[in-house]
Amino acid sequence: MKTRGVLHNELAKAIAKMGHGDMLVVTDRGFPFPRHEMTTCIDVSVGRDLPKVVDVVKVVLEELEIEKVVIAQETKQVSPHVYEAFQGILSTVQNKGNPIEEEIIPHPEFKHLVLNGALEGKEIKVMVKTGEFTPFANIILVSGVDF
C-alpha cells in the first residue's frame, strides 16, 4: 500500500505520465473544467476548503519535478495570502539547482490557457480542482527534468 506522496490513484497516474514542458493546473472550486477531452480533469474536493490548493501543490511537488509556475496577476492582488503561500512552497524547490521560474499573467489569459491551451498545442495535461473557496487560488506547474 502506498503511504507517501500522491495517494489519489488518478492523480498519481496522471503525474507519472507527465514529461518535460507538460503542465498540471491546481485550481480553486470555482474554476471551470475544460470542455474537451485533451486535458485530464480530476476533482479532489471533499468539502468546503478541503483540500486547499496549497495542500495539493505541496503533495504534487513531492513527485513532480517542475521548472516553472504560471500564476494570475489577480492572485497577487486579490488573494495575496495564497500568493505568499505559493512563494513559501516554491522557495524550497529548485530545478537542477536553479530557482523555479515564475510567470505572472492576467487572469483572463490564465483562464484561456487552462481551458483552451490543449486545443492550441500547449501541453495542458492535467487539471486538479480542489475544495478551495478563495478567489484566484490557481497555479500552473510546468514539468521539468532533473538531469
Please report, in tens digits, the pLDDT of each residue of the chain (147 residues total). Answer: 999 999 999 999 999 999 999 999 999 999 999 999 999 999 999 999 999 999 999 999 999 999 999 999 999 999 999 999 999 999 999 998 899 999 999 999 999 999 999 999 999 999 999 999 999 999 999 999 998
For the chain, domains (ranges, CATH) are 21-143 (3.40.1650.10)
Map residue 89 onto helix, strand or coil.
Answer: helix
Side chain identity at 146, as an amino acid letter? D
For residue 64 the three cell numbers come to 513532480
**Catalytic machinery residues:** 20
Pull the grid cell for residue 38.
485533451
| CA 88 vs CA 57, 120, 124: distances in Å | 11, 32, 24
Buried-exposed string 57-71: b where 16+ CB fall within 10 A, e elsewhere = bebbbeebbbbbbbb
Read off the C-alpha cell for 128: 486538479
Q: Which pLDDT score is estimated for 97? A: 87
